[in-house]
Every structure is written in C-alpha cells, then in structure tokens.
Amino acid sequence: MQGIMRKVLTLFIPLLIFTFSCDRVKEKTKETLNRSGETIGEGATEFFEGVSEGVDKTLQCEINLSRNLLNKGLSTGKFSIEDNKTSGENNILVLYLIFEDDFENTLTAKAYDKQNLETGRAKIEVEAKAGDAGYFDFVFDERTYIEVKSKIMID
C-alpha cells in the first residue's frame, strides 16, 4: 500500500506543481498582454489625435476680410464649412462675425480654390449693433464645392 501511495504522490505532486505553474504563467502572460494592450491603446490614441490635428491644420480654409470691412470694425472668429441639407456639398460657410461698431451692409463671400480660381459667391444682408457677435450662413450655389485649402474673401 505504501508503494502505491508513493507512486501516486510521485505522479500527483509534479502534476499539481505543473498545473499551478501553468496557471501562474497564464495569469502573468494575461497581465503582461493587458499592460501591453493599454500601452499600445494609449499610443494609438495619441497617434490618431496627432493625425487629426495635422489634418485639421492642412485642410483648413483661409478666411480674409477686406480692408474696408476691417476699417468698419468687423472681425471674424470660428468658422465651418457645411453641407446644404437640401442641395450641395461643402457649399455653406458658417462664419462667426464680431462687430466693434454698428454695422449695416451687404456682405459678399467669394470662394477660391487651391489654384486661386473663383468657384462661387454668396451674399447676405447684415445688421448689427456695436458689441454684437454671432454666426452667419453664407449659402453658395449648389454647384459650389468649397475645397480643402480654399480661400474665402469677404467684401
């Protein structure tokens, strides 16, 4: 009986140690993979944020006000190029205008492509008091497509 017990223990103890070691190795491997995944995830997030910022800077349109409008106390803030819900893509300029003085005038936005060719015009009537500011929509023809790196001149 003692011989059988010894053989069972001789087989059982190494098997127990092996199983315990495998679980421990498996757990350590899992922890390492999780930490690596977190590190890679953080790096990927930073990479894509950098790419996004680079794309924003590269694709940015240029907005310029005429000297006459600048002299009348007009300045700009944030802007976006949007799709017209009923017709056209990238054919609405949403521009934040800031009024230092009272203002009443027709504004004309002229869009130019990368080769400096005019691609469209849009006009709006604007009336504002000194200190006012707000978003204004310049809706271009449905065939006007405001491209990346376009220049828009406001007269």
**Tens digit of pLDDT for each residue in 12-52?**
666 656 665 666 666 776 776 677 666 666 665 565 555 44
Residues 16 and 77 in one domain: no
Write out residues in the chain with pLDDT < 50, as ranges: 51-58
| pLDDT on residue 34 | 72
b/e 7-39 (16+ beta carbons within 10 angstroms → b): eeeeeeeeeeeeeeeeeeeeeeeeeeeeeeeee
Number of domains in the chain: 2
Query: How long, in residues, is the chain?
Result: 155
| CATH number of the domain to which 82 belongs | 2.60.40
Residue 150 and residue 102 share a domain: yes
At 94 the pLDDT is: 96
Q: What's residue 58's pLDDT?
A: 37
Residue type (1 letter), 104:
E
- In this prediction, residue 31 carries a pLDDT of 76
Indicate whether 52 and 83 sit together in one domain: no
In terms of domains, do 135 and 72 share one?
A: yes
> What is the reported pLDDT for 152?
97
Domain that holds residue 9: 1-59
